[in-house]
Amino acid sequence: MAPYHPVDFPVLAVDMFSGSLVAIVTPMLANGAIDRAAWLRLLDFHLDNGTAGIVVGGTTGESATLLEGELRELTTSALEHVAGRMKVIAGAGTSSTAETVARVRWLSALGVDGLLIVTPAYVKPTQDGLIRHYTAAAEASSVPILLYNVPGRTAVDLLPPTVARLATVPNIVGLKEAVGEIERVRDLQRLAPGLAVLSGDDATCREAVLAGAKGVISVTANVAPREMAAMIEAALAGDATRAARIDTRLEALHENLFLEANPIPVKWVLEQMGLIGPGIRLPLTPLSSRFHTRVRSAMERAGLTG
To the query of whether residue 122 is one of the catalytic residues in this protein, the response is no
Q: Evaluate if residue 102 carries a pLDDT over 60.
A: yes
The predicted-structure confidence for 268-296, as pLDDT tens digits, reads as follows 999 999 999 999 999 999 999 999 999 99
Instruction: Tell me which long-range contacts 296-303 makes (C-beta under 8 A, separation of at least 24).
Output: 296/272, 297/252, 297/256, 298/252, 298/253, 298/255, 298/256, 298/257, 299/223, 299/253, 299/269, 299/272, 301/249, 301/252, 301/253, 302/223, 302/224, 302/227, 302/249, 302/250, 302/252, 302/253, 303/227, 303/249
The predicted-structure confidence for 185-230, as pLDDT tens digits, reads as follows 999 999 999 999 999 999 999 999 999 999 999 999 999 999 999 9
The span from the CA of 250 to the CA of 64, in Å, is 28
Per-residue pLDDT, averaged over 128-134, amounts to: 98
Domain boundaries along the sequence of the chain: 13-248
CATH 3.40.50.2300 fits 13-248, yes or no: no
Instruction: Please tell me the predicted confidence (pLDDT) of residue 134.
Output: 98
At 2, is the pLDDT very low, low, confident or very high (cuts 50, 70, 90)? very low
The predicted-structure confidence for 17-50, as pLDDT tens digits, reads as follows 999 999 999 999 999 999 999 999 999 999 999 9
Round the average pLDDT of the chain to a whole number and report it: 94
Instruction: Please tell me the predicted confidence (pLDDT) of residue 117.
Output: 98
Instruction: Please tell me the predicted confidence (pLDDT) of residue 64.
Output: 95
**CA-wise closest residue to 155 among 196, 103, 95:** 95
To the query of whether residue 87 is one of the catalytic residues in this protein, the response is no
**CA-wise closest residue to 148 among 51, 137, 258:** 137
Q: Which of 134, 148, 214, 267 is catalytic?
A: 148
Q: In the chain, what percentage of residues exceed pLDDT 90?
A: 94
Q: In the chain, what percentage of residues exceed pLDDT 70?
A: 95
Instruction: Please tell me the predicted confidence (pLDDT) of residue 12.
Output: 45
At 16, is the pLDDT very low, low, confident or very high (cuts 50, 70, 90)? confident
* DSSP 3-state percent helix, strand, coil across the chain (nearest 5): 50, 15, 40
